[in-house]
Amino acid sequence: MVHRTETPGAPQDRPTAARWCLVPLVAAVAIYLPALANEFLVDDIHVVAGNPLVCGDALDAARILGSDYWAGVLQNDDTLYRPLTILLHAATCQAAGPDPAFHRAVSLVFHGLNAVLLFFLLRRLLPPGRRGWAGSVLGSVAFAVHPLNSEAVLFVANRSDLVAAASCLGVALLVLAYVFRRVPTGRVDRTGGATLFAIAAVQAVGVFSKESAVAAPVVAGMVTLLAWRLMPAPSRGRFPWAQTALALAPAAVAIAAYLAARVVVLGALYHGAGFAPLDNPLVLVPSVVRVRTAIEVLGRYLGLFVAPIHLSADYSLAQILPVTSWLAPGFLAGAAACLALVAAGLLALRRLPIVTLGVAWYLVALFPASNLAFPIGTIMGERLTYLPDIGLFIALAGAGVAVVSRLSPRVTRGFVLAVVAVVVELAVLTGLRGQETATNCGLFDRTAEASPDSAKAQFGVGICALEKDDMTRAITAFDRALRLYPDYGDAMVQVAQALERAGYIQEAIDRLGTFLETHPTATGVRFTLAKVLARDGRRDQARAVLATLIQRFPGRADFQEALRHLDEP
């Protein structure tokens, strides 16, 4: 077991820490700096550039605070409530317009902040001396450049993951500062009161940006327990339960306020039925199938952390299928990886508790987004591991320092050089991924290679082919998407438009009609059929289709407008 010789975060460390924290900050910024020139990617367009709530004429904070996450771009969506995420996007757009570089720079600032906060947290948990400093620097730099974290940084729409991570790290550090402050037990001085207020504010910023920040009080409590345990036995005393509870109370109040606001705005805490099966097929399967699949996905996450060489921007249907057997290879591999991780945490509990903390951080932070307890909006997403992976870097830093403490100086140099080489290799992979995501079409091509069974990836390839007037490739890609997901109405619309542009208008009409026979409620497909019929001169048939739509949706102005155009001479 590693023991400290001073109170966590002792003042004598601070000048040196202020200098060394620049290393992970520079690493985090430098590795993503070339990607500032990238264009908006996928959801960035919907959430930011094409969202009137974000890039409209004026900032409407009241409407943002009272609306769901997708209020500006989707109707009848009540699954997410992240008002501060949208508010930050909107403030950025009001300041700099829909400039991808500026929006991505804001995300990069949060990523750099997280690397610095992780450095300071490691400094408080690792022993003093050169080994502790090296572990803090290398651990935070590895976090800053690891490719698995790149999706959260490169996609502007994923900034909420960065803010949630900053909240958890900030709350943990603030709770440490409060619990171990040098004042008499039970007394709340002016500095302590300011710290409690800061805890509430940081927690509120995190949870109102993304719900995963609810993990902050739990991880902060675990960090405080470890910091206490690492103190020298003579000065340690009993664990400060009262101070810790008082420090965590403001975070709990902020979370309660968020949950209350969520119920008011969305009407309920959770709307699982609102998630699309295309994004997460687990919303339609029995609980036991969902749990098995979630365990397989956990194994995939751990595998990508160890070997981040086959990353993908999409794992949705049908790239990952529900696991229907306890003997499925994917489930067995995932279960083995999870058991190995838990076993490592338990075995380290007595002699190396920082590893136990890291494992617990990972599991606690990933659990809400794991699909284990309830289905979420996606079956798997690399961005979801940004916050949990902090725990793995804490565990690796602690284990690395413990290993080095048992090596000779000569072997230690070789070990450190090997770690540096691995970090450099991770940085190279992250730089390459930044290049692969320079454009939407490049992203779709790369995603289709990494996830060939993803209907959404094939759909994206088809969209890019349409933009390039390559109708043959577009039709092929949309047909692949439909084979993977036969209920894919958007793909049906696009393949019909591609067929029409290629001169096969009758085939487009026939395919739209066939799709509607099995999907009579596919409004977008039916509207497309009306427009294709009108362009082919079949106005009476188009009018009949529009009349059906207007009868079902009398308030839709676009249907009314299309009918008026048909009646014009």
Task: State pLDDT tens for residues 481-531.
Answer: 999 999 999 999 999 999 999 999 999 999 999 999 999 999 999 999 999
pLDDT category of residue 3 using cuts at 50, 70 and 90: very low
- Exposed, middle or buried by CB within 10 Å (0-12, 13-18, 19+), for 382? buried
Q: Where are the alpha helices (DSSP H) in 45-154?
A: 52-55, 61-65, 83-96, 100-125, 130-145, 150-154
Residue 287 is predicted with a pLDDT of: 95
HEC string for 289-348 = HHHHHHHHHHHHHHHHHHCCCCCCCCCCCCCCCCCCCCCCHHHHHHHHHHHHHHHHHHHC
DSSP state letters, 106-126:
HHHHHHHHHHHHHHHHHHHHS
Distances (CA, A) of 530 to 111, 161, 513: 48, 41, 11
Whether the pTM exceeds 0.85: the reply is: yes
Nearest to 64 by CA among 79, 73, 77, 54: 54
Side chain identity at residue 453, one-letter code: D
Phi-psi label, residue 111: left if phi above 0, alpha if psi -120 to 50, beta otherwise = alpha
CB–CB of 118/390 below 8 Å?
A: yes
Rounded to an integer, the average pLDDT of 212-226 is 96
Residue 7 is predicted with a pLDDT of: 46
**R_g (Cα) of the chain, nearest Å:** 26
Helix count and strand count (H, E) for the chain:
27, 0
- Looking at per-residue pLDDT, the higher value among 30 and 186 belongs to 30
Q: What is the DSSP letter of 40?
A: P
What residue has token string 């599991």? 363
- Looking at per-residue pLDDT, the higher value among 561 and 304 belongs to 304
- Between CA 169 and CA 203 the distance in angstroms is 10
How far, rounded to the nearest angstrom, does the alpha carbon of residue 301 sit from its chain's CA centroid? Answer: 13
Task: State pLDDT tens for residues 135-152.
Answer: 999 999 999 999 999 999
- Between CA 297 and CA 114 the distance in angstroms is 25
CB–CB of 391/172 below 8 Å?
A: no
CB–CB of 108/36 below 8 Å?
A: yes
Is pLDDT at 434 greater than 50 in this prediction?
Answer: yes
Name the E strands within 496-552: none
Nearest to 48 by CA among 208, 160, 157: 157
- Between CA 148 and CA 304 the distance in angstroms is 7
Residue 397 is predicted with a pLDDT of: 96
Rounded to an integer, the average pLDDT of 192-208 is 96
Distances (CA, A) of 428 to 32, 308, 434: 11, 11, 10
Is pLDDT at 9 greater than 60 in this prediction?
Answer: no
Both tokens of residue 236?
């340690």
Prior bond to 318 cis, omega within 30? Answer: yes
Task: State pLDDT tens for residues 26-41.
Answer: 999 999 999 999 999 9
Residue 6 is predicted with a pLDDT of: 45
- Between CA 166 and CA 114 the distance in angstroms is 5
Q: What is the DSSP letter of 224?
A: H
Side chain identity at residue 331, one-letter code: F
Residue 11 is predicted with a pLDDT of: 44
Query: CATH topology for 454-567?
Result: 1.25.40
Parts of the chain belonging to CATH 1.25.40.10: 454-567
Phi, psi (deg, nearest 5) at residue 103: -65, -40
First to last CA, the chain: 86
Residue 14 is predicted with a pLDDT of: 60
CB–CB of 426/308 below 8 Å?
A: yes
Residue 569 is predicted with a pLDDT of: 62
Residue 63 is predicted with a pLDDT of: 93
CB–CB of 117/169 below 8 Å?
A: yes
CB–CB of 474/462 below 8 Å?
A: yes
CB–CB of 484/454 below 8 Å?
A: yes
- Exposed, middle or buried by CB within 10 Å (0-12, 13-18, 19+), for 433? buried
Distances (CA, A) of 527 to 175, 471, 501, 544, 546: 56, 22, 17, 11, 7
- Between CA 241 and CA 228 the distance in angstroms is 11
Task: State pLDDT tens for residues 361-420.
Answer: 999 999 999 999 999 999 999 999 999 999 999 999 999 999 998 988 889 899 999 999
- Looking at per-residue pLDDT, the higher value among 182 and 275 belongs to 275
What residue has token string 């000065």? 235
DSSP state letters, 173-196:
HHHHHHHT-SS-TT---HHHHHHH
Percent of the chain with pLDDT over 90: 80
Lowest mean pLDDT among 4-8, 73-77, 180-184: 4-8
- Between CA 48 and CA 160 the distance in angstroms is 13
Which residues have C-beta within 8 Å of that of residue 116, sequence separation ≥ 6?
21, 24, 25, 140
User: What's the sign of the alpha-carbon dihedral 396, 20, 167, 30?
Assistant: negative
Nearest to 423 by CA among 151, 166, 118, 137: 137
Is pLDDT at 16 greater than 90 in this prediction?
Answer: no
Q: What is the DSSP letter of 35?
A: G
Name the E strands within 187-237: none
Residue 237 is predicted with a pLDDT of: 84
Which residues have C-beta within 8 Å of that of residue 19, sequence separation ≥ 6?
none
Nearest to 117 by CA among 158, 155, 157, 174: 174
Residue 8 is predicted with a pLDDT of: 47
